[in-house]
């Protein structure tokens, strides 16, 4: 059960050491700590502070949106209206770790890193119930090493927390341990808004109950909606806009699939298609991103269809997540968002039997994934937009 976790943990630690020394971060820092290079955005000033106590090693794990989470942790949401785009889960756990570590950056890095590996055995247990132990072990390993999953569950982002809380809820509800599942369910949408998808497995397993327990569990399944609504209300009271977390995601002007079809193409034609998968100047877009965006849009429908042959719940969860990303997510971030739709990996890896041939294929894929992930990691620290 712990084999994928230990392999991925070793890869993360070894990768961080390699990145630290190959980029000479100890002497020169990263793009994000160079005043002459870093984008002069308000939230990025947090990177220019003294790292006192832990040297420059925590800089291996921060860049881009890490600035928002770290600044929210230090200054609260009031420092910028755009901060309401970011859910409170990671800053909250950063504060908990700060109680012991007494360093904001190291605390938020540690919390993201810890949850970034804890979700792996949870996914493996879920996959086992569908495709067996050997295939599930390889599936968990490949998912965790997939470049976009590996990177964004290693650096100070909230992806690891989202996976941990959603998977915990799914497994506990599946086993009938509703009382234990509820705290995880309530917290899931506060890690990332995508966590609201957890209501699908909750409703599915609740409807399978009988008698009064069925009604109770169905009602309890909507608690994630309540927690998300309360977050919206709290945000609204602070800024005078109940939908602040939704509206602030519109500030960047990046295309979603919806806005590309309804606004971009009618106004700009082919030019909109060419610019949709890249970030505007002066941001440098990673070489893989345009290809990854196309794959993230085209492959999931096939996997969603395949998932229906295994379990309709996997299809419902994945389809809801896929459509949500298309409507509300920025196209330039679709590889990161789609990678979080973990049910898609169950039909994708169902053929891995654990025999010699499938182990060799999985090993080759895992090595290739890790090489690309390290490239994404160094590009991320060099200020390139990777997803």
Residues facing 384 on adjacent strands: 284
Spatial CA neighbour of 18 closest among 386, 10, 369, 364: 10
The token pair at 307 is 């998932």
Asked whether the beta carbons of 34 and 71 are under 8 A apart, the reply is no
Do 217 and 209 meet the contact criterion of CB atoms below 8 Å apart?
A: yes
What Å distances lie between residue 123 and 17, 130, 235, 335, 347, CA to CA?
27, 11, 32, 19, 14
Q: Which long-range contacts (CB under 8 A, 24 or more apart) does 74-83 make?
A: 74/46, 74/104, 77/235, 77/238, 78/238, 79/42, 79/43, 80/42, 80/43, 81/239, 81/244, 81/248, 81/251, 82/43, 82/248, 82/251, 83/43, 83/248
The confidence score (pLDDT) of residue 52 equals 58
Residue 260 has a pLDDT of: 84
Written as six digits, the tokens of 43 are: 């939230």
**pLDDT given for residue 229 in this prediction:** 93
3-class SS at 62?
coil
What Å distances lie between residue 126 and 42, 131, 151, 184, 190, CA to CA? 41, 9, 22, 16, 22
Question: Cα(112)–Cα(65) distance, rounded to whole angstroms?
Answer: 13
Q: Kindly report the pTM of this predicted structure.
A: 0.95
CB neighbourhood size of 214 (10 A): 13
Tokens of 251: 């500030």
pLDDT of residue 359: 87
How would you label 174-196 residue by residue, b for 16+ Cβ within 10 Å and e otherwise?
beeebeebbebbbbbbbbbbbbb
* CA atoms of 100 and 266, how far apart (whole Å): 54
> So what's the pLDDT on residue 246?
67
According to the model, what pLDDT value does residue 249 have?
58
**Do the beta carbons of residue 106 and residue 94 sit within 8 Å?**
no
Could you read off the pLDDT tens digit of each residue along the chain, which spans 387 residues?
Answer: 799 999 999 999 999 999 999 999 999 999 999 999 999 999 999 998 866 567 899 999 999 999 999 999 999 998 888 888 899 999 999 999 999 998 999 999 999 999 999 999 999 999 999 999 999 999 999 999 999 999 999 999 999 999 999 999 999 999 999 999 999 999 999 999 999 999 999 999 999 888 888 999 999 999 999 999 999 888 877 777 777 666 665 445 678 888 888 888 888 888 887 788 888 888 999 999 999 999 999 999 999 999 998 899 999 999 999 999 998 888 999 999 999 999 999 999 888 876 788 889 999 999 999 999 999 999 999 999 999
Closest of 276, 296, 282, 286 to residue 377, by C-alpha = 286
Q: Give the H or E element holding residue 328.
A: helix 312-328
Instruction: State the pLDDT at residue 166.
Output: 98
Q: What is the pLDDT of residue 264?
A: 84
Q: Which tokens hold the place of 346? A: 């169950």
Q: Are 134 and 4 in contact (CB under 8 A)?
A: no
- Residue 78: the pLDDT is 85
- Please tell me the predicted confidence (pLDDT) of residue 163: 98
Q: Which of 238, 245, 114 minimizes the C-alpha distance to 189?
A: 245
Pairs from 91-96 (Cβ < 8 Å, separation ≥ 24): 92/190, 93/161, 94/69, 94/70
């Amino acid at each position: 059960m712990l084999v994928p976790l230990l392999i991925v943990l070793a890869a993360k630690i070894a990768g961080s050491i390699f990145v630290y020394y190959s980029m000479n971060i100890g002497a020169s820092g990263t793009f994000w700590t160079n005043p002459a290079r870093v984008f002069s955005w308000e939230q990025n000033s947090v990177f220019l502070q003294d790292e006192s106590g832990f040297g420059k090693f925590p800089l291996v794990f921060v860049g881009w949106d890490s600035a928002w989470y770290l600044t929210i942790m230090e200054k609260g949401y009031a420092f910028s209206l755009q901060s309401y785009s970011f859910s409170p889960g990671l800053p909250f756990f950063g504060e908990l770790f700060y109680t012991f570590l007494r360093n904001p950056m190291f605390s938020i890095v540690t919390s993201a890193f810890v949850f970034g590996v804890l979700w792996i055995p949870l996914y493996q247990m879920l996959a086992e119930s569908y495709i067996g132990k050997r295939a599930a072990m390889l599936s968990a390993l490949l998912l965790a090493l997939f470049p976009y999953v590996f990177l964004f569950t290693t650096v100070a982002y909230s992806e690891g927390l989202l996976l941990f809380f959603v998977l915990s809820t799914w497994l506990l509800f599946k086993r009938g341990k509703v009382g234990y599942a509820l705290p995880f369910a309530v917290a899931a949408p506060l890690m990332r808004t995508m966590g609201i998808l957890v209501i699908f497995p909750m409703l599915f397993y609740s409807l399978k109950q009988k008698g009064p327990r069925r009604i109770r569990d169905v009602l309890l399944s909507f608690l994630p909606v309540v927690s998300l609504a309360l977050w919206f209300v709290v945000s609204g009271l602070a800024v005078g806009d109940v939908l602040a977390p939704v509206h602030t995601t519109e500030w960047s002007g990046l295309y979603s699939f919806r806005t590309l079809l309804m606004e971009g193409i009618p106004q700009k034609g082919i030019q909109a298609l060419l610019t949709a998968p890249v970030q505007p100047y002066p941001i440098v877009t990673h070489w893989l991103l345009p290809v990854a965006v196309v794959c993230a849009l085209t492959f999931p429908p096939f996997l969603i269809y395949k998932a229906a042959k295994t379990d309709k719940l996997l299809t419902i969860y994945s389809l809801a997540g896929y459509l949500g990303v298309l409507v509300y997510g920025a196209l330039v971030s679709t590889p990161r968002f789609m990678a979080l739709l973990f049910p898609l990996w169950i039909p994708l890896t169902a053929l891995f039997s654990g025999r010699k041939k499938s182990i060799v294929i999985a090993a080759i894929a895992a090595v290739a994934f890790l090489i690309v992930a390290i490239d994404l990691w160094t590009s991320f620290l060099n200020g390139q937009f990777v997803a």
